[in-house]
Structure 1
Amino acid sequence: MVDILLERTVPLPLDEAWRRVTQWRRHGDVVPLTAVRVEPPAPTRRGTLVVARSGVGPLAFDDPMEVTVWQPPQDGAAGRCRLEKRGRVVLGWAELEVRPGPGGRARVVWREEIRVRPLPSLFDGLLRRSARYVFGRALNRLLRQA
């Protein structure tokens, strides 16, 4: 099991930072070789299923994630979303939090615990580095693009 923590402070209001990181289909635009579908399509709520399909051809697999916590920011208070990974290949969870940061900025925190079923723990270091790189780049792009 690999733990990942990414933090960014951005010059955005809380609700805009939240909107950018929880537009699930856009995650597919910023993660290589990935397409995302959402069931039901909108609005996100507890029980929404976010399915990221990653890979190419016969090497592709689904990473279904169920939204188990959905608390958008409200009245200046932090927002939090938790997704439980329900797939056969990728297990664990992800949490996105948007909270007030210094100088009226938004502080975005992405926590993830991930395990890829066929990989032995020997590969945890490689998985951690590659996941931090891919998810960090995706988070940067999500927050930059309106």
Structure 2
Amino acid sequence: MRVVVEARVRRSAPVVWRHVTDWPWQSASIPLTRVSTTRRTGGPHDSFVGRTAVLGAGFDDPMDVVRWQEPTAGAPADGARAGVAVLAKRGSVVLGTAALRVEPLTAGSCTLVWGEDVEVAPVALTRPLTPLLRVPAWWGLRAVVTDMVRRVEAATPEPLEP
């Protein structure tokens, strides 16, 4: 199942990038889930786990960063480039990939695109339900992205590194 959500953010691409790739920071926006790092390098080869649980029952969603390109500051006309992180989901329940893209629009704004291409195990049983799950999955991801955008925009602006 593929779901993609896009949102405009009134902060620079590097500032948004620093927030959305702070894996534990995501926990405040993802209901019933706590994200913890298992290997934090601040880039490629990061590993982390999203633990989703209700009343103690749940599952782990371990992920590895398999692609990492940080965005640059500025506007595309000035040569700014997008940031991209691709995550491999390697758990026993959620399989597939997730991707974050932070695309500069101006020096002080960008577009955040979050896509998931996932299946839920056991695939043979859950794949027929994909058409029924796509819309609720999109709404759920949209709520997560909307909350992250709200939190980034409400944060005190961070100084950009020279």
Structure 1 position 102, deviation (Å): 6.2
Q: Label 1:43 to 1:144 Cα distance change in 2 as closer, same or farther (>3 A).
A: farther
Cross-structure match for 1:143: 149
Moved over 4 A (4+): none
Provide the alpha-carbon RMSD of the alignment: 1.8
- Could you tell me whether the CA contact under 8 Å between 1:20 and 1:143 is conserved in 2? no
Distance, in Å, in 2 between the alignment partners of 1:23 and 1:140 is: 17
1:128 aligns with 2:103: no
Is the Cα–Cα contact under 8 Å of residues 68 and 83 in structure 1 kept in the other structure? yes
Asked if the contact 1:83–1:93 (Cα under 8 Å) also holds between the matched residues in 2, the reply is: yes
Q: Report the secondary structure of 1:84's partner residue.
A: strand
Residue 28 of structure 1: how far off its partner (Å): 1.5
Question: Where do residues 1-146 of structure 1 align in structure 2 (5 Å cutoff)?
Answer: 2-40=1-39, 42-57=40-55, 59-75=57-73, 76-101=80-105, 105-118=109-122, 119-145=125-151, 146=155
Count of residue pairs brought into register by the alignment: 144
Instruction: Could you tell me which runs of 5 or more consecutive residues in structure 1 were left unpaired when the two chains were aligned.
Output: none
Contact 1:21 1:139 in 2 (8 A): no
Once the 2 structures are TM-superposed, how far is the Cα of residue 56 of structure 1 from its aligned partner?
Answer: 2.1
- Aligned residue type for 2:133: L
Q: What is the rounded CA distance, in whole Å, between the counterparts of 1:33 and 1:129 in structure 2?
A: 19
TM-score, structure 1 normalization: 0.89
Equivalents in 2 of 1:38, 1:95: separation in Å? 17
Question: TM-score scaled by structure 2?
Answer: 0.81
2: CA distance, partners of 1:65 / 1:113:
13
Cα shift at 1:58: 5.5
